[in-house]
Amino acid sequence: MGFSDLKKQSSLGSLTAKLVKEVEKTNKGGGGADDRLWKPEMDKSGNGYAVIRFLPAPDGEELPWVKLFSHAFQGPGGWYIENSLTTIGGKDPIGELNRELWNSGSEANKEIVRKQKRKLSFYANIYVVQDKANPQNEGKVFLYKFGKKIFDKIMEAMQPEFEDETAINPFDFWQGANFKLKLKKVAGYWNYDASEFASTSPLLDDDDAMESIWKQEHSLTAFVADDQFKTYDELKKRLDYVLGNKAKARQEAQETEYDNYAATERKSVSEEEVMQKLEDSYKAAKEPTLPETSTSDDDDDPMSYFAKLADS
């Protein structure tokens, strides 16, 4: 937008209206939903149907999908909703805690582990072929977040179980296949068991059009970039807080802040003054606010998932 456009928007008042709209989105959902993400919808009868095409890897990236581990559970100190460092091969505090609880042999501890276990999600680029619930999505490129159930169907297509079945690459523009996504609710959860791939066929008959679609794809590696994960120490402090170990979390945070602050101020400020400054800051501090984060799986309606956690 050029300067002249900025002046024109000012005279029309459109910029103000846009800012107000953004504020309303923020108040409703922490910045609004990510419009890059596509999601199927159920009709009034409790069923859903759409046809999508999984797309090749984006330009410059090796795989057409990316997987992400995360945790979402509630403790005495609030919700723990964080990406797991195990996604990128690191050690994760909740993983270590769960291993310790499971190995204790206690059935009560094993039940805790089940509530705190990792949740596996996949992301891929898709082209929406048919979406009757939202026809405006048809012919567009989106990111699609799905779980192990759908990923298993992709792997079954690539590595069929029986000799009379031909392996296909569902992510191929020319030799791939559309995916008929059939959704229904079973025992309160979203279920995709009836979903299946159609016969192999080119996505379109126009290579130039498919190249244009390919260039519209979103980065997948961005989901597992370093800035998507907190450090081990940050996760440990949050975990201690959520599990009710507030005194321990506070002490560790104080020690870290003291080390950082004292490294630059130790020469001019006494240790007592440093500790008093930190103590005053903690008295004024409030409990950290959890980010607005959605969690979904191919077998779960997100709201049902959180409701079942809360009711457990």
pLDDT, mean of residues 226-241: 96
The answer to whether residue 73 is domain-embedded is yes
Tell whether the torsion through CA atoms of 145, 146, 152 and 154 is positive or negative: negative
Range(s) of the domain holding residue 115: 37-229+290-311
CATH number of domain containing 129? 3.90.198.10
| 52-101: pLDDT as tens digits | 999 999 999 999 999 999 999 999 999 999 999 999 999 999 999 999 99
The answer to whether residue 27 is domain-embedded is no
Which position has the token pair 């419009």? 35
Q: What is the pTM of this model?
A: 0.71
| 175-228: pLDDT as tens digits | 999 999 999 988 888 899 999 999 999 999 999 999 999 999 999 999 999 999
Greatest CA separation for the chain: 79
pLDDT, mean of residues 125-142: 96
Distances (CA, A) of 298 to 75, 111, 143, 183: 25, 23, 14, 9
Counted domains in the chain: 2
Reply yes or no on whether the pLDDT at 151 is more than 90: yes
The answer to whether residue 26 is domain-embedded is no
Q: Beta 189-191 vs 177-186: how paired, if at all? A: antiparallel
119 and 212 inside one domain: yes
* Residues 49 and 196 sit within 8 Å (Cβ to Cβ): no
The answer to whether residue 112 is domain-embedded is yes
pLDDT, mean of residues 216-244: 96
**Dihedral pair phi/psi, residue 74, rounded to 5°:** -110, 135
